[in-house]
A and B are shown apart, each in its own frame.
Chain A
Amino acid sequence: DAGVIQSPRHEVTEMGQEVTLRCKPISGHNSLFWYRQTMMRGLELLIYFNNNVPIDDSGMPEDRFSAKMPNASFSTLKIQPSEPRDSAVYFCASSSWDSPYNEQFFGPGTRLTVL
């Protein structure tokens, strides 16, 4: 299995631009999570989906952030308009309800820099 796939790996954009991050979870997994990691705030959960349905988006910073999961194999996190304080590493993770450990499998992350 290829694991969780994220693209792009790096994104540099200017303030005000739209940014779209993409994620392909592990095939067969039921849950998908979007996290943001910074030195100051650590790993923060933004939103998660169960069976493609958004369950909890309380971690989404503001209306500039939106996430979709149109099918079981694809999710996007969009920031519009982007701001310098959005600079961080964004991780996507997936998990399977069949696992006794409820472990999350993380992708390699997207390092976002907003100038």
Chain B
Amino acid sequence: SQKIEQNSEALNIQEGKTATLTCNYTNYSPAYLQWYRQDPGRGPVFLLLIRENEKEKRKERLKVTFDTTLKQSLFHITASQPADSATYLCASEAAGNKLTFGGGTRVLVKP
């Protein structure tokens, strides 16, 4: 079965800088990957989807890439703000319409 690996260490970053998070998948190349944001005490919220045949996707200050050679997706938050502080989860499509989630990476943006 698919395994999704994210850096479990928190990412501390200064306001205004770009945060870059990594998501690696271990087995088959998924048809798409999704990224979610989770705030403490709340459920994950969908941010972006990138398909296997797309190299890059953007949404406002967010950018996601998909590299099938490296089996990796990168998630960038540009011009980061303290309000971006949260845990970010990567998810891979699985059989049926299931998702397999990574463990998430916590981001802390310091003013």
A74 at the A/B interface (Cβ < 8 Å)?
Answer: no
Interface centre among B32, B41, B43, B104 (most CB of A within 10 A): B43
B89 proximity list for chain A (CB < 8 A): 43
Count class of interface residues, chain B: 20 to 34
Contacts A56-B96, A56-B98 given; indicate if A103 touches B104 (C-beta within 8 A).
no
Q: Which residues of A contact B (CB under 8 A)?
A: 4, 31, 33, 42-43, 45, 48, 50, 55-56, 91, 93, 95, 97, 101-109
| 9 further interface pairs, Cβ-Cβ under 8 Å (given A42-B104, A97-B97, A109-B43) | A33-B98, A43-B89, A48-B98, A56-B98, A95-B97, A102-B97, A106-B44, A106-B45, A108-B43
Q: Which residues of B contact A (CB under 8 A)?
A: 32, 34, 41-46, 49, 89, 93, 95-104
7 example contacts (A-B, Cβ-Cβ < 8 A) are as follows A31-B97, A45-B100, A101-B34, A101-B49, A102-B97, A103-B49, A108-B41
